[in-house]
């Protein structure tokens, strides 16, 4: 996937003060983020956001992912965006096993009848853990295996007047753990890229590790649930119409709308709790987004996996 640097524009409005001062409001999760009455514009379109797939041969995971693929094909959106953690997992290395997981994902994803735009997640970082038999000298280390299969880990594309940017929200700490961080080379690219995006163009950003999330407030835990330098990215988007941030990682469903400007949506997961049941009481599923003009609405799609696993006697209908 090539990084797109072909648009034009400049920066102006203030996003920084709004986001820094207000924070996200907790509200019941609506099925519609916004709506606009009247007939659909001719540029209306739909896309799917499917995250935390965690594909592996065990636990009937391929069957569950295939059900999600079939459901998406039935709905026939213009494209699919994934939210990372495509495989489970390659952080502990072992080349053959790790490569077979990526191959399984890549082969199955060919079943989508529309383009798929992938995002990298923590479980997709090859060999980064201390216990891995591989290290930095391996060409597939960290982002390498993902890049070999899918291309750049950050990139952009346009669709019917909207601009989509997928970011790489992962890096590795000195003591060989993953961390939610947008590295500087990428942020340099983003700054340059946005110079060529019209300030009015609605932008959707996809990130695996959330930029905005209430997990820690609700659970009293610190950790790697959000990207540490997310504020730096929001600052870069000042002067642009950042409309929606799509997020993965938490395996829960959360929607927020900040200062009448930025929506954020954490899109549940395909894998739930390691294919054993719901995670945080969020049913396995994915998000469908309907875009019409400058507005969008969304709903969470049950692709039937919970019903199927309950039939097989796996897990329960809550966590």
User: In angstroms, rounded to a whole number, what is the distance separating the alpha carbons of residues 165 and 149?
Assistant: 19
Using DSSP, state whether 160 is helix, strand or coil: coil
User: In angstroms, rounded to a whole number, what is the distance separating the alpha carbons of residues 97 and 103?
Assistant: 10
The stretch near Fe ion (CB under 5 A) out of 38-46, 82-90, 108-116, 272-280 is 82-90
Q: Which of residues 85, 89, 124, 254 is near Fe ion by CB under 5 A? A: 85
> Of the two residues 54 and 193, which places its CB atom closer to Fe ion in the complex?
54
Name which of 130, 118, 210 is nearest 170 in CA terms.
210
DSSP per position, 67-81: HHHHHHHHH--SEEE
- Residue list 27-56, contact with Fe ion (CB under 5 A): 52
User: In angstroms, rounded to a whole number, what is the distance separating the alpha carbons of residues 125 and 222?
Assistant: 22
> Of the two residues 85 and 171, which places its CB atom closer to Fe ion in the complex?
85
- Nearest distance from residue 175's CB to Fe ion, in Å? 21
Using rule CB under 5 A, residue 124 touches Fe ion: no
Using rule CB under 5 A, residue 89 touches Fe ion: no
> Of the two residues 37 and 223, which places its CB atom closer to Fe ion in the complex?
223
> Of the two residues 162 and 215, which places its CB atom closer to Fe ion in the complex?
215
> Do 140 and 101 touch, CB atoms closer than 8 A?
no
* Assigned token pair, 175: 């003591």
> Of the two residues 52 and 254, which places its CB atom closer to Fe ion in the complex?
52
The stretch near Fe ion (CB under 5 A) out of 34-42, 59-67, 83-91, 188-196 is 83-91
- Nearest distance from residue 80's CB to Fe ion, in Å? 17
> Do 221 and 239 touch, CB atoms closer than 8 A?
no
Name which of 149, 151, 140, 180 is nearest 4 in CA terms.
151
Size of the site for Fe ion (CB under 5 A): 2
Summarize as ranges the residues that interact with Fe ion (CB under 5 A): 52, 85
């Amino acid at each position: 996937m090539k990084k797109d640097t072909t648009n034009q524009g400049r920066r102006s409005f203030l996003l920084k003060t709004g986001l820094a001062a207000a924070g996200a409001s907790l509200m019941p999760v609506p099925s519609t983020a916004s709506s606009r009455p009247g007939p659909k514009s001719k540029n209306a379109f739909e896309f799917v956001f499917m995250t935390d797939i965690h594909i592996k041969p065990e636990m009937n995971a391929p069957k569950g992912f295939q059900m999600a693929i079939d459901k998406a094909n039935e709905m026939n959106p213009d494209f699919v965006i994934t939210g990372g953690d495509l495989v489970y997992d390659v952080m502990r290395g072992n080349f053959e096993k790790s490569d077979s997981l990526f191959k399984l994902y890549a082969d199955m994803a060919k079943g989508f009848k529309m383009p798929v735009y992938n995002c990298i997640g923590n479980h997709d970082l090859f060999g980064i853990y201390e216990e891995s038999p591989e290290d930095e000298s391996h060409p597939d280390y960290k982002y390498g295996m993902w890049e070999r299969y899918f291309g750049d880990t950050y990139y952009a594309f346009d669709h019917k007047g909207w601009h989509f940017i997928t970011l790489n929200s992962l890096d590795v700490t000195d003591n060989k753990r993953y961390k939610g961080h947008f590295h500087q080379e990428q942020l340099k690219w983003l700054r340059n890229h946005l110079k060529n995006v019209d300030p009015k163009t609605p932008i959707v950003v996809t990130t695996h590790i959330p930029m905005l999330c209430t997990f820690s407030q609700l659970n009293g835990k610190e950790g790697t649930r959000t990207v540490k330098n997310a504020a730096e990215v929001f600052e870069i988007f000042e002067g642009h119409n950042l409309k929606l941030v799509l997020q993965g990682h938490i395996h829960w469903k959360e929607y927020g709308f900040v200062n009448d400007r930025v929506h954020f949506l954490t899109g549940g997961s395909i894998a739930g709790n390691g294919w054993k049941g719901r995670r945080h009481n969020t049913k396995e599923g994915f998000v469908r987004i309907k875009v019409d003009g400058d507005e969008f609405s969304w709903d969470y799609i049950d692709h039937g996996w919970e019903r199927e696993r309950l039939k097989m006697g796996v897990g329960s209908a809550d966590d």
